[in-house]
Chain A
């Protein structure tokens, strides 16, 4: 069993800077957990603390049932893949893979079979005789992953492993790593994975659960769909999803028997289900609506609200178009399928158009704390 348990984990640097603020987290056995957040959110620090490369200044870290706070990296049963691959340049690929096993005194035959098995798993048998400098970025990355696999660790740690690859290779490595996780589980070597990335696409596509961090504090831990549908706060809402959710300061006002959001001088009546949760509230809030919940044509379901706006510019992505427009003085983005532009394509900057907002999918956050008011 290799669940990972963090209890009130803290990191205070000698100069007094507190990088990690009492993190509580349980990573289940065999789970693929992704740490995601903007740069400087201490996600890598947290990973390095799990690895034993960074001291833990407070709290308890357990791998399995073992308290590992003061154990050396090699005693923790972990393997790590680095952003820069960190292959040993003076050793051939085979030796790179075998190095850790040799240090541990593994019998030669066992080393050989494990290295060959890992090489086969990653389709790199033909690379075993090469030096790291003879490898391409993607190959080096595979070797780095292989070096982790041969150790049969209880926990795999990945520190932004794909950020040095080009976009195309990154996409294929993403699939490969996800498949690898599945293969390992099916072959009876289930791997608990902690994967650090700043790329929310990687997080959404790879993670079984995602831990969103900001300034050394966990914002939310949940499945990708839950993060997308029910963000705990405005930060998570803005971070998950591309293009970013439209989040703007707005005013909550009573309207008839219900409530309305005043955004850029336009009153947006809230659906009853949402208004119910906000019974006693009024005043300043933050209004959030994902670009995919704004369309250029009325929804056939009839649940969208037409709002007058002025078009600013469009970004053509092929199958879809990101339309930037203003409601009053408030800038918003819509993500519109290319075949539903409804005459938008001919519109010039500054021309008026009615956009259709799906208010049933909107989010409302506290103006101060940013907490989601609808949860």
Chain B
């Protein structure tokens, strides 16, 4: 039974193999007190700082380059631009088409937001069933579901395309949203199932005695406990859908319906000479929603869910 499992974040006492301090907490919200390192902290910070700059350099260069002209972009390797010129942003925003990037951002949200909603609903329902109910063929179905995670998405494109064509849904957002309403993002289902397995059932049993039926249990007890996992689902689905290029490319043909990812590609594909600064500027702007969502949600990633209501 699950309540016999080790509660997350519980302290494990005992001699630590490295000697010295032994207070090692495991699981969510873990903190580790390991023996004091005898090296020079200054050297350590310098080394880590250098690696961090190397890793972040492309991003920093991208932001710097959005202020540069074509010539400077291809000749200067440095991050700092010679002048701060926001005209590239204005130009890029206008695009070479009749629509501004506002349209494309709106389109992206029109795909992303409904997709997130149906993903969360369907994945939570399916995960709840797999984690909490006994039904015929459960193990077999679960292994099939996990198996589909290994499937390269690209091989589904052709049959899906033909299917949506038959249904007359090409050049709409439906093919981009509808599949997610059937919990096809199996990674999320898997993640939620694993998370649910770690939550002791006592609270659900208490709620059952308080008079909850299966759906009330889901809404009043499971969903609040799953909040950190659901937020992870939202963040990942947001970032993945915002960045999705292949899906919109295949299903959308009207420029008016393009999301940001396609619009960015379009601004490079023009015949006349490409104004790289504008492309880069819009790339920077296109990053903002994903980064923003990530930082808004970051707090919840770390938040433990269950250790407070149940002692065990």
Give the residues in chain B near A87, CB-CB below 8 Å: 203, 206, 309-310
Known: A84-B202, A140-B311, A164-B311. Contact between A89 and B306, CB under 8 A?
yes
A86 and B210 within 8 A (CB): no
- Complex alpha-carbon distance, A210 and B212, angstroms: 32
- Let me know if A131 is at the binding interface, CB within 8 A: yes
8 Å CB contacts to B: which residues of A120-174? Answer: 131-133, 137, 140, 147, 151, 164
Residue in A51, A84, A133 whose Cβ sees the most chain B Cβ within 10 Å: A84
Give the residues in chain A near B213, CB-CB below 8 Å: 72
Give the residues in chain B near A347, CB-CB below 8 Å: none
The chain B residue sitting closest to A144, CB to CB, is B206
One of A73, A86, A133 near B203 (C-beta < 8 A): A86
Residue in A85, A131, A133 whose Cβ sees the most chain B Cβ within 10 Å: A85
- Complex alpha-carbon distance, A202 and B120, angstroms: 47
A80 and B308 within 8 A (CB): no
Residue in A86, A100, A137, A151 whose Cβ sees the most chain B Cβ within 10 Å: A86
The chain B residue sitting closest to A103, CB to CB, is B211
- Let me know if A99 is at the binding interface, CB within 8 A: yes
The chain A residue sitting closest to B306, CB to CB, is A89
Known: A99-B220, A103-B216. Contact between A86 and B208, CB under 8 A?
no
Known: A86-B202, A88-B221, A103-B216. Contact between A53 and B208, CB under 8 A?
yes
- Let me know if B312 is at the binding interface, CB within 8 A: yes
The chain A residue sitting closest to B227, CB to CB, is A90
| Chain A nearest Cβ from B135, distance in angstroms | 13
- Let me know if B207 is at the binding interface, CB within 8 A: yes
- Complex alpha-carbon distance, A51 and B202, angstroms: 13
The 8 A CB mask of B195-238 against A (1 = contact, 0 = none) is: 00000101101111111110010001100110100000000000
B209 and A79 within 8 A (CB): yes
B209 and A73 within 8 A (CB): yes
Residues of chain A at interface, number, CB under 8 A: 30
A82 and B210 within 8 A (CB): no
Give the residues in chain A near B221, CB-CB below 8 Å: 88
- Let me know if B305 is at the binding interface, CB within 8 A: yes
Known: A74-B210, A89-B225, A103-B216. Contact between A84 and B205, CB under 8 A?
no
Residue in B206, B216, B308 whose Cβ sees the most chain A Cβ within 10 Å: B206
B310 and A86 within 8 A (CB): yes
Give the residues in chain B near A83, CB-CB below 8 Å: 202, 312
The chain A residue sitting closest to B202, CB to CB, is A86
- Let me know if B3 is at the binding interface, CB within 8 A: yes
B211 and A100 within 8 A (CB): yes
B205 and A82 within 8 A (CB): yes
Give the residues in chain A near B202, CB-CB below 8 Å: 82-86
| Chain B nearest Cβ from A127, distance in angstroms | 14
- Complex alpha-carbon distance, A86 and B208, angstroms: 12
- Let me know if A317 is at the binding interface, CB within 8 A: no
A74 and B311 within 8 A (CB): no
Known: A53-B205, A103-B216. Contact between A84 and B225, CB under 8 A?
no
State the A residues within 8 Å of B (CB). Answer: 51-53, 72-74, 78-80, 82-90, 99-100, 103-104, 131-133, 137, 140, 147, 151, 164
**Cross-chain pairs A/B with CB under 8 angstroms, 29 sampled:** A51-B205, A51-B209, A52-B208, A52-B209, A74-B208, A74-B212, A79-B209, A80-B206, A80-B209, A83-B312, A84-B200, A84-B202, A85-B310, A86-B203, A86-B206, A88-B221, A89-B203, A89-B308, A89-B310, A90-B309, A100-B210, A103-B210, A104-B211, A133-B309, A137-B311, A147-B210, A151-B210, A164-B311, A164-B312
Q: Which 5 A-B pairs have the closest CB atoms?
A: A133-B308, A89-B309, A100-B210, A86-B202, A74-B211
In the complex, given contacts A85-B202, A85-B310, what are 18 additional A-B residue pairs having Cβ atoms less than 8 angstroms apart? A53-B205, A72-B208, A72-B213, A74-B208, A78-B209, A79-B209, A80-B209, A84-B312, A85-B311, A86-B203, A88-B207, A89-B225, A89-B309, A89-B310, A103-B210, A147-B210, A164-B311, A164-B312
State the B residues within 8 Å of A (CB). Answer: 3, 200, 202-203, 205-213, 216, 220-221, 224-225, 227, 305-312
